[in-house]
Amino acid sequence: IIGCQVRREPPNSTERYTRWINHLAPDQLLTQVFTSNGPTVIMPTWFCSRAWFSHVGPFDEGGRGVPEDLLFFHEHLRKGGGLVRVDQSLLLYRYHPGAATHSVLETTIWTHRVRFLEEWALPHWATFTIWNAGRQGRRLYRSLTAGSRCKVVAFCDVDENKIKKGFYCYEDSQERPKPRVPVLHFRAAQPPFVICVKLDLTGGAFEDNLRSLHLQEGRDFLHFS
């Protein structure tokens, strides 16, 4: 799939998303496919051969509420498809609240994202740490299958209150004893990490912490939020 950068109309709508979609590095087009932002090459700019489209597709025509772009994107990757972005703004992408994309429930997208993470990334890791002991990190842990949950060796965070408690107990688990997962300071935790902290929201503090560990994206961590 080949796409391009976009210009948003109105200019300040979805500012964080537009910055993300336009400035991902070439390798991040593949390593950041699990985030809540969706496809790393924005769908209205997609080009591919008809033969490849027929091989991957068709789009799921289930109607409103079906994330057809995301489903096609995941299938494209499953079948070994590549991603390229032309670094020119060749499309005016208009934002309006009534767009069909807003009819897709966040819970539906979440389920597809978790399953794709489990299918495409987690099999390569024997164990991993979830970066964020708060709501999003715990939600990911609870959403994983039992086999994937067993690979979670710790949560990590910067919040001293979460770290002081020392562990997260999965109260809804049917296992006995209930799983208790350690909560560590991020500097005491071991990669690889599944990161459940949204980018570009902490004034650079999170990004600085991550860079200080000198990790390689894709091998040592993946972004999920």
Question: How confident is the model over 80-109, as pLDDT tens digits?
Answer: 999 999 999 999 999 887 666 667 899 999
Please tell me the distance from the alpha carbon of residue 133 to that of residue 149, in angstroms, as a whole number.
14
Please tell me the distance from the alpha carbon of residue 199 to that of residue 191, in angstroms, as a whole number.
19
The answer, yes or no, to whether residue 72 has pLDDT greater than 90, is yes
The answer, yes or no, to whether residue 213 has pLDDT greater than 70, is yes
Of 189, 196, 185, nearest in space to 223 by CA = 196
Which pLDDT does position 61 carry in this prediction? 78
Residue type, 19: R
Q: Which two tokens stand for residue 86?
A: 């032309």
Which pLDDT does position 29 carry in this prediction? 98
Tell me the percentage of the chain whose pLDDT exceeds 90.
86
Give the other-Cβ count within 10 Å of 5's Cβ.
19
Q: Which two tokens stand for residue 137?
A: 């990190």
Are the beta carbons of 37 and 113 closer than 8 angstroms?
Answer: no
Are the beta carbons of 207 and 199 closer than 8 angstroms?
Answer: yes
Residue type, 67: P
Are the beta carbons of 165 and 183 closer than 8 angstroms?
Answer: yes
Are the beta carbons of 180 and 204 closer than 8 angstroms?
Answer: no
